Amino acid sequence: MSAGPFCDLNQVMSLTEAMHAAAVDGRWDDLTGLAAEREPVLYAGTMRPAPETLESLKSIMLIDNLIKDLVSAARDESAVAWDASRRVRKAVAAYTSF
C-alpha cells in the first residue's frame, strides 16, 4: 500500500520563515497571504515517517509561536492607540460643544 505524496516540509519551513519576517517587519497583509499560501502545502500529502519530520514540525511550531507573540503584541499596541485616539476625539467633541 502506497502512502501517497509527502508534505513538502521544506516549502512549509520556507513559508513559515517568510511569515515570521513579515511579522517582525509589521507587514500584516504579507503575513496573511503567506499563511494562506502555506496552509494547503502543510496539509497536502502525508508526513514522511522520519526523525527529520518531527524536528521540522517542532521548528515550524516554535516559529509559529513567535509569530503569535508578535501578532499579540501588535494587537495590544493597536488597542492602546485606538483607546488614546478615542479619548482625544471625546475631548475634542467636549471642547467644541462649549
pTM: 0.80
Q: What is the CATH number of domain 9-96?
A: 1.20.58
Rg (CA), the chain: 21
Domain ranges of the chain: 9-96
pLDDT tens, residue order, the chain (98 aa):
445 699 999 999 999 999 999 999 999 999 999 999 999 999 998 999 999 999 999 999 999 999 999 999 999 888 877 877 777 777 777 777 66
Q: Which three cell numbers stand for residue 58?
A: 517542532
